[in-house]
Amino acid sequence: MRKVLSVFIAACLVLSLFTEIFVSMPSARADITEGDYTYTVAGSNATITGYAGLGGAIVIPATLGGYPVTNIGDMAFYTYTALTSVTIPNSVTTIGTQAFQDCRALTSVTIPDSVTSIGDYAFSSCTALTSFTVEAGNSSYSSGTDGVLFNKATTSLVQYPGGKQGAYVIPNSITSIGNYAFQACTGLTSVTIPNSVISIGDWAFYDCTALTSVTIGSGVISIGNHAFDNCTALTSVTIPNSVTSIGNYAFCYCSSLTSVTIGSGVISIGNNAFYGCTALTSVTIPNSVTSIGGMAFLGCSGLTSITVDAGNSSYSSSTDGVLFNKTATSLVAYPGGKQGAYVIPNSITSIGNYAFQGCTGLTSVTIPNSVNSIGSQAFYGCTTLTSVTIPNSVTSIGIYAFQGCTGLIAAHFSGNAPRMRASVFDSCAPGFTVWYISGANGWTNPWYGYPTATKTPKTVVVLQIGKSTFTVNGASKMLDSPPVIKNGRTLVPIRAIIEALAGTVGWDATTKKATVTLGKKTIVLWIGKSAATVNGVSTLIDSTNAKVVPEIINGRTMLPLRFVTQNLGATVGWDQNTQTITITYTP
C-alpha cells in the first residue's frame, strides 16, 4: 500500500512540473484586430499581419494592444495599391517577405535605425517608389543619395526603387546584387555593372521590360537563376570571361535578344537559360562549357545554328549547326528555327530529352538504325511533322516524346514494340495510327491507347558505283563485283541484290540466259540482247538506247539495274553527287 502511494505521489509531482512548464511557455495568439491593423502576439511582441485602412500616407503604430510592434509580417501590405507613403516606427526590427510588394502608389519609404532584416522582394513591383531613406544610425542598411537601398557597408545592392526611370550605374563598392534587387523596375533602361561585382542574384533584373542594354563587369562570376528573365527589350549581351555559371532561366523570354556572346570562362549553362529568345539566330558555345541544361535554347524560334568551339571536351556541333555531345553519339539540341527535313547522322545512338521540342519548321526526320533511345519530349510540339519511322534499333521512347505533334498522322515502327512511357503520341492528328510490321512482337491493338495497324515490311538496298559493298536495311553486305556505268546505264551483279529482296536468280550457261524471279514477277534476259521478257511478254530493256544490254564483265554477269528492279515492282533512286543508288521494295 505504501509502495502504491509513493508511486501516486511521484506521478502527481511530475504532472505538476509539466503543468507549470506548459503554463509558463509563451504562445502566439491568433490574429487580433485593432483599428486598421490585424496582428499576432508572440511573447511580448506584436507582428502586423494585415491592413484594412483607407491608405494614403500612413504611420504604423509603435504598439498594438499594449505590445511593441517589432515585425511587419510577410505580405502584410501586399498589393495594397492605395498606400502612398509609410512611416515605420523605431520599434520594428523585421520587415517580412513581400511585406509591401505591389504597393503601386507607394512613392517613398523610410527605414528606421531599428530594422535589422528586410525579407525578399519586400518592396518589389512598387512601380511608383522612387527612393528609400535609411536613418543614419541603422546598423544593417544604408541608402545612397539617389534613394537606392544597400547593406550598411554598401557592398550589396538590396533594392532599387521600382519607380526610378532611365539609366543606372551601380557604385564601384558593390560586390553583390541581391536577389530581386531590380525586379519589375520597368523604367530602368540601361544598367552598368562594375568590375567589383562578383554575383548577380536570382531574379535580380526579372521583368525589367524597358532594359535595352546591360554592361556586365569583368569581375562577375555567377549570374543567378532568372536574373534577366523577361527583359523583353534587351537586344544584346556580352557575358565576360570571368563568369563561370549562367543560372536556370537566366535570359528566359528575352524576346528581343539578337546577339549573345558567352565568355570563355563559362562552365555551365542552366536549364532554360535562353528559353524563348525568339530573335536569337545563332550562338557559339566556348571550349570551357561542360554542362548545358535541359531546354537551354528551347523556344528560340529564330535560332538556326549552334556552333561549338573545336576544343570543347564535352560538346560538338555539325556543319549545319546541330548540337551533339563530344563523340556525336547523342543529339542534344536541334535549332528551333531550322526549316525542312533532317537526316540524323548514323553515329547517333540517343536522341536527348527535348532535342527537337518546339521545332515547328521540321517537316520530316530520318532516324537511323544506330539510334537506341528517344528521350522525353524529344519531338514535343513539332507541329508540321506528318509521319515518322522508328527503326528496329529503338528500344525505348520517353514520356511525351511526340506529344502535341498536331500534324502527325502515323508512326511507322520497323521492329518489335519498344519500351514506352505514357502519353508519347497524345494530341497528335485526328486518326493517328501506329503501324507495325506483321509478325513483330509486343504489339497490341490498341497499344498504349493508340490504334494500330499492320504493314508488310519494305527492304531498302543502297549501292554505290565502283564499290563492292552495299547495305540492306542498313546492314553491310558484299557484291561479287562493283556496279559500273556503261552506255549511260548502271549494270550490277544482280544475284546478291535479288536474294536480298527474297527473290531468286537462275543462270543457263548454254543459252547465256538469266532468269530473275521475285514475288509474282519473272524476268528473263540474255547476254548481249536488248530485249527481255517480263512474265512472258517481250519488252525492250531501254527504248531509247539499244546498246543497253546484259554483259559479262570480268567473268561476272552484269544486268541493267533499273530495268530489272522497276519491272519487279521496286523503286530506284539515284544521287548524282554521291553516285549512290537506293532501291526500295515492298512485297
Q: What is the pLDDT of residues 520-572, one digit of tens each?
A: 999 999 999 999 999 999 999 999 999 999 999 988 889 998 999 899 998 88
Sort 399 into a burial class: Cβ within 10 Å, 0-12 / 13-18 / 19+.
middle
Does 286 share its domain with 374? no
Sort 306 into a burial class: Cβ within 10 Å, 0-12 / 13-18 / 19+.
buried
CB atoms within 10 A of CB 98: 21
Does 392 share its domain with 410? yes
User: pLDDT, tens digit, for every residue of 99-138?
Assistant: 999 999 999 999 999 999 999 989 999 999 999 999 999 9
Mean pLDDT within 446-466:
91
* Domain containing residue 357: CATH number: 3.80.10.10
DSSP string, 36-72: TEEEEEETTEEEEEEE-S--EEEE--SEETTEEEEEE
Final residue of a structural domain among 456, 485, 520: 456
Identify whether 154 is part of a domain: no
Residue-level pLDDT at 483? 92
Does 439 share its domain with 548? no
Residue-level pLDDT at 587? 78
Identify whether 6 is part of a domain: no
| Under 8 Å between Cβ of 69 and 58 | no
| pLDDT beyond 80 at 12 | no
Does 362 share its domain with 254? no
Mean pLDDT within 234-239:
97
Residue-level pLDDT at 455? 85
Our count of domains for the chain comes to: 4
Distance CA 469, CA 496 (A): 11
Residue-level pLDDT at 188? 97
Mean pLDDT within 130-159:
96
| pLDDT beyond 80 at 187 | yes
How much of the chain, in percent, has pLDDT values that exceed 70?
95
Final residue of a structural domain among 401, 431, 456: 456
Distance CA 36, CA 38 (A): 7
404 or 11, which is more confident: 404
Residue-level pLDDT at 484? 93
User: pLDDT, tens digit, for every residue of 253-291?
Assistant: 999 999 999 999 999 999 999 999 999 999 999 999 999
Residue type at 337? Answer: G
Domain enclosing residue 510, as ranges: 459-585
Identify whether 143 is part of a domain: no
| pLDDT beyond 50 at 308 | yes
| pLDDT beyond 50 at 14 | no
Residue-level pLDDT at 29? 63
Distance CA 52, CA 38 (A): 8
Does 544 share its domain with 569? yes
Identify whether 12 is part of a domain: no
Final residue of a structural domain among 285, 316, 338: 338
- State the chain's maximal CA–CA distance in angstroms: 130
Identify whether 190 is part of a domain: yes
Residue-level pLDDT at 315? 98
At 19, the pLDDT band (50, 70, 90 cuts) reads: very low
DSSP string, 74-136: TTTTTT-TTEEEEE--TT--EE-TTTTTT-TT--EEEE-TT--EE-TTTTTT-TT--EEEE-T
Does 282 share its domain with 426? no
Does 469 share its domain with 432? no
Residue-level pLDDT at 246? 98
Does 206 share its domain with 262? yes
Identify whether 301 is part of a domain: yes
Mean pLDDT within 499-526:
93
* Domain containing residue 566: CATH number: 3.30.457.10
The reported pTM is 0.78
Tallying the residues shown for the chain, one arrives at 587
At 577, the pLDDT band (50, 70, 90 cuts) reads: confident
Distance CA 279, CA 337 (A): 10
Residue-level pLDDT at 28? 56
Does 469 share its domain with 522? yes
Does 185 share its domain with 310? yes
DSSP string, 224-244: -TTTTTT-TT--EEEE-TT--
Distance CA 116, CA 558 (A): 93
33 or 7, which is more confident: 33
| pLDDT beyond 70 at 327 | yes
Does 298 share its domain with 205? yes
Identify whether 20 is part of a domain: no
At 16, the pLDDT band (50, 70, 90 cuts) reads: very low
Name the one residue in this structure whose C-alpha cell is 535549332: 335
Identify whether 13 is part of a domain: no
Residue-level pLDDT at 244? 98
Residue-level pLDDT at 2? 41
Distance CA 395, CA 305 (A): 30
Distances (CA, A) of 383 to 144, 279, 362: 53, 20, 8
Residue-level pLDDT at 30? 78
Number of H helices and E strands in the chain, helices first, is 3, 54
| pLDDT beyond 70 at 11 | no
| pLDDT beyond 80 at 18 | no
Question: In whole numbers, what is the pLDDT of the chain averaged over residues?
Answer: 92
User: pLDDT, tens digit, for every residue of 478-493?
Assistant: 998 999 999 989 999 8
Listed in sequence order, the residues at least 6 apart from 263 whose beta carbon sits closer than 8 Å to its beta carbon are 238, 239, 240, 241, 242, 243, 286
Does 378 share its domain with 519? no
Residue-level pLDDT at 458? 81
